[in-house]
Amino acid sequence: MIVAILLASGWVAGAKGEEPSPTPAAAGPVTVGEVAPVKITTGASSIVHVPVRVAEGHRVQANPASNDFLVPLKIEIEDCNGLVFGPPVYPEAEPYRLEGTDEDLSTYVGEFEIVVPVSATDAAVPGHHSVLGKLHYQACNRRMCLFPASEWVELQIVVSASEESSKR
């Protein structure tokens, strides 16, 4: 019985006393692709391109969403280590109507990018920075909207000192 519970909960113990490891969760309708590393100098700005893919047969609510009770696609990245993230730029929405309804929803479908401005302040520490963010979304299929969900987003930012700061 205990083994069945462990297997059902996604934990499987390996041979020779290995630690149990979680089984990967089933993939949701939205995945975040690999974000290309961004190189930036202190005192400068750049942009991060976050690739998003919505599985066939699904759509996600646009930003802004067409109704207050729907959850818009939203990326959250907190400023850190002298890196300041600006307001994201979302793609243009497409209208979509669920079966049996008479109102269009603003949605995104297929593959698209979210563009996030980033600036490195003069106080930014030169070096490699791994920054975690979260993509929040509400997906719909042709008949209904699913519960809101989130996916992690990992950004790789490489900061180098500007010539101005290296002269100090």
Residue 71 lies in a domain: yes
Contact 41, 160 (CB under 8 A): yes
pLDDT number for residue 98 = 87
Evaluate if pTM is beyond 0.75: yes
Residue 47 lies in a domain: yes
CA distance 167 to 133: 34
Average pLDDT over residues 2-19: 32
Residue 16 lies in a domain: no
Contact 35, 154 (CB under 8 A): yes
Query: How would residue 5 be classed by pLDDT, with cut points 50, 70 and 90?
Result: very low
What tokens were used for 24? 């990967």
- Asked which of 14-28, 116-130, 146-160 is least confident by mean pLDDT, the reply is 14-28
What CATH number does the domain containing 64 carry?
2.60.40.1250
pLDDT number for residue 92 = 96
Average pLDDT over residues 50-60: 96
Contact 42, 120 (CB under 8 A): yes
Give me the torsion for CA of 69, 62, 53, 49, rounded to 10°.
Answer: -130
Q: Is the pLDDT of residue 167 over 80?
A: no
Residue 39 lies in a domain: yes
pLDDT in tens, 95-151: 999 888 888 999 999 999 999 999 999 999 999 999 999 999 999 998 888 999 999
Total domains in the fold of the chain: 1
Query: How would residue 26 be classed by pLDDT, with cut points 50, 70 and 90?
Result: low
Q: Is the pLDDT of residue 21 over 60?
A: no
What tokens were used for 158? 């490489």
Counting other chains too, the contacts that 15-22 makes at CB distance below 8 Å and 24 or more residues apart are none
Whose CA is closest to 64, among 92, 102, 85, 86?
92
pLDDT number for residue 145 = 87
Residue 82 lies in a domain: yes
Residue 46 lies in a domain: yes
pLDDT in tens, 60-101: 999 999 988 899 999 999 999 999 999 999 999 999 998 888
Q: Is the pLDDT of residue 15 over 70?
A: no
Domain that holds residue 65: 26-166
Q: Is the pLDDT of residue 9 over 60?
A: no
Q: Is the pLDDT of residue 6 over 80?
A: no
Number of other residues whose CB lies within 10 A of the CB of residue 145: 19
Evaluated on CA atoms 84, 89, 90, 91, the torsion sign reads negative
